[in-house]
Structure 1
Amino acid sequence: MRKQRDIIKQLTDRELNVQLIISQFSLVFLSIILSYILFDSFVDWLNYFKLSYYDIVYYGAASGLLIVIIDLVFMYIFPKKYYDDGGINQRIFRDRSVGGIFLLALLVAIAEELLFRGVIQTTFGYLVASIVFALIHFRYLKKPVLFVSILFVSFYIGYIFVLTENLLVTIMAHFIIDFTLGLVIRFQKRGANNE
C-alpha cells in the first residue's frame, strides 16, 4: 500500500483541493444522515448549536489560541523531524491564500466537529469520540510527538464539548487551531524563500 504522502505528491493542486472538499462535505453529509438515524429528532441534534458569545469566545477561541501557543512552543522545543507529517500539511497550506486557508479551516472544523462531537460523542461518549478523532489522523501514528499532540487536542476539544454542549464552541476552537497553524505554515514558507 502506498503511503499517503506519495499519493498526495502525485496529485495536482486542483486534484488535492477537490479531494479535500469532497472528503469534508462527505463528513458533513454523513453527520446529517447519522443524526437522523441516531437521534429521536433532528431538532434534538440542532439543540447543540447555541449562540452563546461568552462560551464561543471563552471556551472556543481562547482554548484554540491556548492550543496553538502550546503547539508553537513544542515546535520550537522539538526538532523539526518530530513535527514532520511527510509534508502533507505544507502541501495543503503553503501556496494557499489567507482567504483559502480561512475557508478550508472553517470547512474542516465544521465537518469534523459535526461528526466527532455532534454525532459520535453525543451517541457513544467522550472517550470513544476522542480516540476515534485521534486515530483518523493516522499519518501521525508513527510520529509520537504529533500523535500525542493530536490526542491531547482531541480530548481537550471533547472536554470543551462536555462542559458546554455547544458545537459552535468546538467548531470555533478547531477553526482557530487549523486556521492559525495553516497561516504559520504559509508564512514560514514565505519567510524561508526571502532568506
Structure 2
Amino acid sequence: MRKFDIRNIKIRKVNVDQLNDKMLLANLYVTQALTLIIGIAWVLFQGRNPFSLLKLPQSNDFALWGAGLAIVVLLFDLGISRFVPEEASDDGGVNDRIFSTRAIWHIAVISLVVSLCEEILFRGAIQYAIGPYWTSIIFAAIHVRYLRHWIPTGLVFSISYGLGWIMIHTGTLWAPILAHFLVDLVMGCIIRLRREEK
C-alpha cells in the first residue's frame, strides 16, 4: 500500500472552460459549503448563536426591503447591460456556464444556496465585526472573476453595501438573503432564457 505524501499534490490554475459541468457544479457547492462553515465558525467565535441569525422577524417589512433592493439592482444591472459593451462586464463566462443549461428549479436551488451561505458569512459574521463598508470591499474582492473590469466590481461593491444597509435597517438577515436570492434567480433565469432564444 502506498503512503499518502502531501508533497506530491500539484496545484495548477484551471480556466472555467477546462471544467466539465459536474466539476463546475461541484466547485460551486463545495465553495458555498466552505463559506457556510467559515460563517458559522466566525459567528460562534464572536460568542453568538448562529441559529439566532435565521430567527424569523415579527414583521414582513423585511420582504419589502429585500424585494425593493432586488428590483433596484435588477433595473440598474439591466440598464447598464444596454449601454456598456459586453466585454466591459465579462466575468470569464462563469455565470453563463453555471446558468445557461440549468433547469429553472436548479437555478432557484443554486440561488438559494448561494444567498444563504454568503449572507451568513458576509452580513451575519463579517459585517457584525467590521461594518458594511469593509465587508463590501471583501465581498467585491472575493468575486475575483469581476475584478478585471471596474463596472462589475463597482456594482458588486454597491450591491453588497445595499445588502448590508437593509440588514441594519430591518434588523434581520432575511432581508439581504431575500434580495440576494431574487437577484441571482432573476439574472440566472435571464441567462437561461437568452440561450434558448439563440
Alignment correspondent of 1:13? 21
- The question of whether the paired residues in 1 share the 8 Å contact of 2:163 and 2:176 is answered with yes
Using the alignment, how far apart are the partners of 2:31 and 2:53 within structure 1?
25
More moved, 10-19 vs 98-107: 10-19
Identity of paired residues, percent? 31
Corresponding residue SS for 1:125: helix
Matched letter for residue 143 of structure 2: H
Residue 111 of structure 1 is aligned with which of 97, 111, 117? 117
- 1:52: Cα distance to partner? 4.4
Matched letter for residue 62 of structure 1: G
Moved over 6 A (4+): none
Alignment correspondent of 2:36? 28
Alignment correspondent of 1:81? 87
Alignment correspondent of 1:42? 49
Corresponding residue SS for 1:166: coil
For 1:137-189, what per-residue CA distance to the aligned partner results, in whole angstroms no more than 9, with x for missing partners?
12211111111111111111111112112111110000011110001111111
Q: How much is the aligned-residue C-alpha RMSD, in angstroms?
A: 1.8
**TM-score (normalizing by structure 2):** 0.88
Once the two structures are superposed, the pairs formed by residues 1-195 of structure 1 within 5 Å of their partners are 6-39=14-47, 41-42=48-49, 46-47=52-53, 49-52=55-58, 54-192=60-198
Matched letter for residue 130 of structure 1: S
More moved, 136-145 vs 173-182: 136-145
Distance 1:52 1:87, change over 3 A: farther
- The question of whether the paired residues in 2 share the 8 Å contact of 1:27 and 1:111 is answered with yes
Distance 1:32 1:47, change over 3 A: closer
Structure 1: gaps (5+ residues): none
How many residue pairs match? The answer is 188
- The question of whether the paired residues in 2 share the 8 Å contact of 1:101 and 1:179 is answered with yes
- The question of whether the paired residues in 2 share the 8 Å contact of 1:27 and 1:115 is answered with yes
Using the alignment, how far apart are the partners of 2:53 and 2:21 within structure 1?
38
